[in-house]
Amino acid sequence: MGSINIFAGGFGSGKTEIALNFAMDNHAETQDVVLADLDLVNPYFVSRHIQAELNAHGVKLMAPEGELSFGDIPQLPAHLLSEVQRDNHLLIDVAGEDAGGAVIGYLHRHLRERDPLHLWLVINPFRPFAQDLNEIIELVKLFENASRLPFTGIISNPHMAEETTLDIIRSGHQQVLDYSRALHLEVGWLTVREEFYEQLVPEYGSLLRTIKLYTRPLWLQED
């Protein structure tokens, strides 16, 4: 069957941008790509805001309609379970900690039947709640306990928005590598914007992956 990639992380980790980029990239390789936006917590970065562009790329978007809610049984998109059980390439964007974990926990029995299944921890070490190893460990524990699934790898996404420099990427990625050793999880990707790729690829090789920015909250657009 096709793969499932789940992207989880704290506020500002960049998981939604990464999920969007994986979806766009996967469509270049296959015609059956589904992106499930299950982030019921964060109102700023949501793939629902670029549904037209996803449709233009042939990516099917599944997202809750109307007012979002979260309770004992999360409000999930209609027909989500059928997509989990179908042969496709499914990408899932969820909030970090126990809130996002509960969404995955609701689906975990069906997700376990899919192979390959990748659960990515997306880390931007320059964001709150990701600047200290103990905070990362707590996030991982909360998410894994709620989801009943273990993380399988880390995506390193070090940046400071428009203030990002090569040195910021290098130092941030080193911090993520320190986290990965403590968590016993491998770093699968180092994601950077396209303008940094050529200068960094001699250092990081195939670990490096470029991402395009599709979404921006209003507070980043203001002067």
Please report the pLDDT score of residue 25 as a whole number.
87
Please report the pLDDT score of residue 11 as a whole number.
84
Task: Give the number of domains in the chain.
Answer: 1
Query: Quick one: what percent of the chain has pLDDT higher than 90?
Result: 60
Q: Per-residue pLDDT tens for 132-158?
A: 999 999 999 999 999 999 999 999 999
Rounded Cα distance, 187 and 193, in Å: 18
Q: Which CATH number do you get for residue 104?
A: 3.40.50.300
Rounded Cα distance, 57 and 103, in Å: 27
Which residue in the block uniquely carries the two structure tokens 């103990």?
A: 134
Please report the pLDDT score of residue 28 as a whole number.
61
Q: Containing domain of residue 55, as a range?
A: 4-221
Please report the pLDDT score of residue 79 as a whole number.
83
Instruction: Name the average pLDDT for the chain.
Output: 87
Containing 99, the helix (H) or strand (E) segment is: helix 97-111
Please report the pLDDT score of residue 70 as a whole number.
46
Q: How many whole angstroms from its chain centre is CA 122? A: 6
Q: Most distant CA pair in the chain: distance in Å?
A: 48
Rounded Cα distance, 63 and 83, in Å: 12
What residues contact 34, with CB distance under 8 A and at least 6 apart? Answer: 59, 60, 61, 62, 83, 88, 89, 90, 91
What is 111-165 written as a DSSP string? HTTSSSEEEEEEE-TTSTTSSSHHHHHHHHHHHHHHHS----EEEE---BTBT--
Q: Which residues of the chain have pLDDT under 70?
A: 27-30, 41-49, 65-75, 216-223
